Amino acid sequence: MCQYIKKLIFRVALALPLAAEAQTMPAPISEAGRVLFAGSPTPQLVARQFAFTEGPAVDRHGNVFFTDQPNDKIWKYSTDGRLSVFLSPAGRSNGLYFDKQGNLIACADADNQLWSISPDGKTKVLVDKVAGQRLNGPNDVWVSSKGGLYFTDPYYKRDYWTAPRAAPSGQYVYYLAAGSPQPVAVETTLRKPNGLIGTPDGRTLYVADIEGNKTYRYRLGATGELLDKQLFVEQGSDGMTLDERGNVYLTGQGVTIYSPAGERLAHLDVPAAWTANICFGGRDMRTLFITASEAVFTVPMRVRGIR
């Protein structure tokens, strides 16, 4: 069985306890949630030609870049609705995020590295090993307002590995300070950290423990440390994003939107086996862009996203 299918089955299994409670779940979209959408909240299909889509990130112009990891490509979805391949091969990239200089930071999973990709497609390895040890496989990344990089490093066995790799001793969240040659572990207590996103002011970081089915909120310290850990919601997530109001968008079985206080505002069903990641894009940053298994979708929004 393909490792990516195994991964999907594992992720769906995490959500099974929720299915038993389906009859007691609140309405898909609350009154407070309805004001977020510019039109129908139903995701609209852009294309269904991929193997497994992940890692959407928006550049300063509103173009969205995303990965098709099994096919080793990074795609570009332009503001005029055109799809094109930006980079191939692409280091089996997973999560992506743009830095302030316009470089695309990529979780290059082929050799468990973190890359910086210039606008013309030139790659540079930012992180290869930590204390001489190979990473499990950087998964998602966020660039802080100070230029530091936070990334998650869970362990997922890959079917393209040429040789077996031992299971990890720890699955951590790391911080790579601007100009530093080595990242440091800043969260070591989660079972399998995956999605993460920070606020534009650089004060708060959200991190999902996908295996623990929880998402946490942290205050960011002056030197990048994670402080004052708080349970945000009893739901894990693969990827995530924020809007201008501070609402948090989690993925997995569709998309679920929470207010900054943790109130469930909306749930969007996505016609795919797994919803992997999400971001805002478009010239006005009011298009929700969703990567979901072999497809990508959009939803028009009233609220703007963050870069």
- Distance, in Å, from the CA atom of 305 to the CA atom of 57, rounded to the nearest integer, reads 11
Q: CB 91: neighbour CB atoms within 10 A?
A: 23
* Residue 306 in domain: no
* Residue 85 in domain: yes
**How far apart, in Å, are the Cα atoms of 181 and each of 76, 87, 111, 126, 174?**
30, 25, 18, 8, 13
DSSP state of 29: B
Confidence (pLDDT) at 83? 98
* Residue 69 in domain: yes
Q: Give the pLDDT of the chain (307 residues) as one tens digit per residue.
A: 344 444 444 444 444 343 333 334 567 999 999 999 999 999 999 999 999 999 999 999 999 999 999 999 999 999 999 999 999 999 999 999 999 999 999 999 999 999 999 999 999 999 998 988 889 999 999 999 999 999 999 999 888 777 777 767 789 999 999 999 899 999 999 999 999 999 999 999 999 999 999 999 999 999 999 999 999 999 999 999 999 999 999 999 999 999 999 999 999 999 999 999 999 999 999 999 999 999 999 999 999 999 8
Confidence (pLDDT) at 159? 81
Residue 106 is encoded by which pair of tokens?
């990529």
Which CATH number covers residue 265? 2.120.10.30
In the chain, how many domains are there?
1
- Domain that residue 52 falls in: 3-300
pTM tops 0.75, yes or no:
yes
* Residue 305 in domain: no
**How far apart, in Å, are the Cα atoms of 273 and each of 6, 12, 134, 137?**
12, 8, 31, 23
* Residue 279 in domain: yes
* Residue 109 in domain: yes
What is the separation of C-alpha 12 from the centre of its chain, rounded to a whole number of angstroms?
17
Q: CB 111: neighbour CB atoms within 10 A?
A: 14
What is the separation of C-alpha 87 from the centre of its chain, rounded to a whole number of angstroms?
19
* Residue 307 in domain: no
* Residue 224 in domain: yes
Confidence (pLDDT) at 13? 42
